[in-house]
Structure 1
Amino acid sequence: MAKHACMESERLFLRPVTMHDAVDMFDYTSDEETTRFLYEPHTELQQTEKMIGNYFMKEPIGKYALVLKESDKMIGAIEFRVDDWNKSGDLGFTLNRRFWGNGYMTEAGNTLLHLAFTILELERVHAAHDVNNPMSGNVLRRLGMTQEGILRKSEMIRGTLADSAYYSILKEEYTIRF
């Protein structure tokens, strides 16, 4: 994974998150609608800086800033964690609400699926989302994933246990698409 710390797609650069991203990241971490299914919105830039240092920079492998090529603006983050023992990967993402509906997350997700199945030779990629967040489910379906089921009260979101919809795509399903 370390060899693939920086990647690009047609409209995006995927690269490690740095402190230089704090203002752009605060733009969405402070937005109630963007963070609704993740965590309480940040009220101060220092909260975002702390998250960058303690989460993104502390263990950067597989954690990417989504940066628009045309403007160099960081618009979201996507994560990909590899489980070598079962040749699988776990995908997660957040996108600034002002950029929803433009296909950016699908584009970034497809970049990571290519990495997973073509380069890393994984067998399965999975992802989950809060069942009350159907837009994330739409992204996962556009990536060719199939919903496997619902895990009840499986994630703590803002102090409340939430149900999660689980999706996956297998290598042979990905290969058929491309």
Structure 2
Amino acid sequence: MNLTNLLLRHSHLTTARLLLRPVTLADAPAMLRYASDPRVTEFVFPTQNDLATTEENILQYFLAVPAGKYGIELQDEHEFIGTIDLRLDSINLSAEIGYVLNHDYWGQGYAPEACRALIELGFDTLIEACHHTANSRSGRVMQKIGMRQEGILRNARQFKGQTVTEAIYALTDADFAAAKR
């Protein structure tokens, strides 16, 4: 089974504290709470200021092509706190993981927990992730899930009108096996 089909078949994943599930338009108010926070959006996407923009982004990104895209919900509280996705590159047999959380939930281990769930589901490929070098908190999440820094990409891309440098991390088969021990 290819990874896209695997992700579509597993649209709901559970961890000890989280439910990873499809994002819906009903999540827009909760998403806007963190998407309007510049601390959250600084390294991810433009800050959103209204519900209509958030709803449009949900329609265009999460609902148009849902494979590998999940809302992060606290199981016990049924509270939507962020999103995580696995961006597939079938040509290079790799995938990139991305995540964003409401600031109120930073530092509680939710991002690594959600990342591990996706990696456990379908690790048959190289998993990569990168972060703006000024966003060391994201790099720490990558380290917590067993990823290793592969290098620095100077002047890697344009983001919010600035040229940014990124650190790239990867998780190989050997790293994955070692992390499971």
TM range, normalised to the smaller chain?
Answer: over 0.9
The separation in 2 between residues aligned to 1:83 and 1:39, in whole angstroms, is: 21
- Structure 1 counterpart of 2:134, from 132, 135, 149: 132
TM-score, normalised via structure 2 length? 0.92
Matched, 1:169 2:171: yes
Q: Deviation string for 1:41-100 (max 9, x for gaps)?
A: 111111111110111111111111000101111101111022233332211111111000
Structure 1, unmatched stretches of 5+, are: none
Aligned-partner SS, 2:91: helix
Aligned match of 1:13 = 19
- Structure 1 counterpart of 2:117, from 86, 111, 119: 111
- Structure 2 counterpart of 1:91, from 93, 97, 100: 97
Q: Deviation string for 1:137-163 (max 9, x for gaps)?
A: 000000111111111222322121211
The separation in 1 between residues aligned to 2:92 and 2:47, in whole angstroms, is: 35
Tell me which amino acid in the other structure corresponds to 1:167: Y
The separation in 1 between residues aligned to 2:42 and 2:77, in whole angstroms, is: 27
Aligned match of 1:46 = 52
The separation in 2 between residues aligned to 1:7 and 1:174, in whole angstroms, is: 19
The separation in 2 between residues aligned to 1:87 and 1:130, in whole angstroms, is: 24
Tell me by how many angstroms 1:40 deviates: 2.6
CA RMSD of aligned residues (A): 1.1
TM-score, normalised via structure 1 length? 0.93
- Hey, which bits of structure 1, 4+ residues long, moved more than 6 A? none
Q: How does 1:12-91 map to 2 (within 5 A)?
A: 12-91=18-97
Q: Given that residues 89 and 116 in structure 1 are in contact (C-alpha distance below 8 angstroms), is that contact kept between their aligned partners in structure 2?
A: no
Aligned-partner SS, 1:144: coil
The separation in 1 between residues aligned to 2:22 and 2:155, in whole angstroms, is: 31
The separation in 2 between residues aligned to 1:39 and 1:172, in whole angstroms, is: 33
Tell me which amino acid in the other structure corresponds to 1:161: T
The separation in 1 between residues aligned to 2:142 and 2:40, in whole angstroms, is: 17
| Aligned-pair identity (%) | 36
Tell me which amino acid in the other structure corresponds to 1:134: S
Q: Given that residues 116 and 125 in structure 1 are in contact (C-alpha distance below 8 angstroms), is that contact kept between their aligned partners in structure 2?
A: no
The separation in 1 between residues aligned to 2:77 and 2:177, in whole angstroms, is: 33
Question: Alignment length, in residue pairs?
Answer: 174
Structure 2, unmatched stretches of 5+, are: 1-6
Q: Given that residues 37 and 133 in structure 1 are in contact (C-alpha distance below 8 angstroms), is that contact kept between their aligned partners in structure 2?
A: yes
Aligned match of 2:3 = none
